[in-house]
Amino acid sequence: MRLIGLTGGISTGKTTVSNYLSKNYQFPIWDADIYAREAVQPGSSILEGIVEHYGQNIVLPNGNLDRGKLGDIVFNDQNELHWLEQQIHPYVRDRFQQNIQHFLVKNSQSEQKNSIEVTSHQTTSQDPTAVLVIPLLFEAKMTDLVTEIWVIWATPQKQIERLMKRDSLSQKQAYTRINNQMSLEEKCQKADIVVDNSSTLEILLKQVDSAIAYRQNNSVFG
């Protein structure tokens, strides 16, 4: 089984790559950002803890978390960012582990069925593959969940431009958010595959195709 840990910095192109892997390879995509949003849905115990910590003004009139206000707090205070991550990361890890277990069972059943249908001279198909999109893969210590690590890289200038456009942030706000994560250089040093997203979409996707064809010989990360 192949579990790809897809990570990188903010606005480096993780969503572009994961969408391509889903559309062109039909790989299951499990996204930490989606699970983090689930964790703070109205009525959740995690959101209640956040409100208790920051006060009622951290939620919008409709009961949803005011992400902009929360971001202004935690991205300017490492202690608060660490506190928030301690609330959310266990939930996110739990969701990934549930998915992996389900994926194991599903593919085990599929292999048993195929072993009955195929003859001994037929080759086996590609290893079952799933993609875990985890922006804070290293910071949240979730590398044990994956069998290989891809880092999507882009220049700091492109990161800032994309982030300002995507989230309507000032240059200072974008810079602060980027600097609150592990540096891309350090992430690249820990990667099995680095995908360079500083050029065209065509070049990016060619690199992804090449990475899919790659088979790592070493064992999983601890």
Stretch 8-27: mean pLDDT: 95
Average pLDDT over residues 90-112: 90
Spatial distance between the Cα atoms of 73 and 67, rounded to a whole number of angstroms? 10
Residue 220 falls inside a structural domain: no
What's the total number of domains in the chain?
1
Better-predicted residue by pLDDT, 119 or 28: 28
Residue 221, domain member (yes or no)? no
pLDDT tens digit sequence for 3-13: 999 999 889 99
Whether residue 219 lies inside any domain: the answer is: no
User: Is 188 within the bounds of a domain?
Assistant: yes
pTM of the predicted protein model: 0.85
Domain that holds residue 32: 2-213
Has residue 222 been placed in a domain?
Answer: no
Q: Is residue 93 one of the residues assigned to a domain? A: yes
What CATH number did the domain enclosing 60 receive? 3.40.50.300
Give the helix ranges, DSSP H, for the chain. 14-25, 32-39, 45-54, 67-74, 78-117, 156-167, 171-179, 184-189, 201-213
pLDDT digits (tens, 9 = 90+) for 150-204: 999 999 888 999 889 988 889 998 888 888 889 999 999 999 999 999 999 999 9
Please name which of 10, 29, 6, 25 lies closest in space to residue 156, comparing C-alpha atoms.
10
